[in-house]
Amino acid sequence: MRVLVVEDDAETADYICSSLQAMGHVFEHAADGKQGLFSALDSDFSVMVVDRMLPGLDGLSLVRAIRSAKVETPILFLSAMGAVNDRVDGLEAGADDYLVKPFAFSELSARLTALARRPPIQTQSTRLIVADLELDLAKHSVKRAGVAINLQPREFRLLVYLMQNADRVVTRTMLLEAVWDFHFDPKTNVVETHISRLRNKIDKPFDQDLIHTVRGAGYSCHA
């Protein structure tokens, strides 16, 4: 089992990580929310343990961001915030389980094992393919003609949306809402800049363009 532990308290993190290691599990530790988000989007984990009160990016925002990126890895909140409303907020943010501190590692381990055993959600739809371009949502990976392509998290989200809407025209407004969660026009060229960066990685090294500008309308991803 490969576990991401997002915990800012050094003593708690060391207790969890050393116990996981003693049981033969592999772990990665992130000491703040921003580092946790980067790790969650950059690597493939069996399950994640997330604290609620984190520096940089709080636990609720972290989990919402992970789910917005279509990462379905099971998440367990581990927090001293144990009121009913706190637990409800955590689960509604996208977590799968909630354990209140102080805790026994035996219970944490049992819950993580149970979460890791759950079958992947909609495994049949975790892979998107357009021509020779393949995107794997579960592994957070992109390949074209068998060549691995490294994307930044926002670029990945942008490509996911384009590929999920393959052969359709998506407008700038649609992209702002789906990829940036903007429900207003920021009056910047953020969409155009990221489309350009994406084309440099997805299209430029290859013979055929897959990301097309539809003049006066938006963009489309197709062969």
For 124-221, CATH number? 1.10.10.10
Nearest partner of 175 among 190, 167, 166, judged by Cα: 190
Strand partners, 28: 4
Task: Write out the two tokens for 164.
Answer: 């999920």
Burial pattern 125-155, b for ≥16 Cβ within 10 A else e, equals eeebebeebbbebbebbbebeeeebebeebb
Cα distance between residue 28 and residue 4, in whole Å: 5
Q: Give domain limits for the chain.
A: 2-117, 124-221
| Ramachandran bin of 62, using left for φ above 0, alpha for ψ from -120 to 50, beta for the remaining angles | alpha
* Residue count (the chain): 223
pLDDT per position in the chain (223 positions), as tens?
999 999 999 999 999 999 999 999 999 999 999 999 999 988 889 999 999 999 999 999 999 999 998 888 999 999 999 898 999 899 999 999 999 999 999 999 999 999 988 765 444 457 899 999 999 988 889 999 999 999 999 999 999 999 999 999 999 999 998 898 887 778 889 999 999 999 999 999 999 999 999 998 999 999 9
Residue 112 has phi, psi (to 5 degrees) of -65, -40
For 37, counting Cβ atoms within 10 Å of its Cβ (0-12 exposed, 13-18 middle, 19+ buried), the class is buried
Q: What is the pLDDT of residue 162?
A: 95
Q: Which CATH superfamily is domain 2-117 in?
A: Response regulator (3.40.50.2300)
pLDDT of residue 119: 62
pTM of the model: 0.55
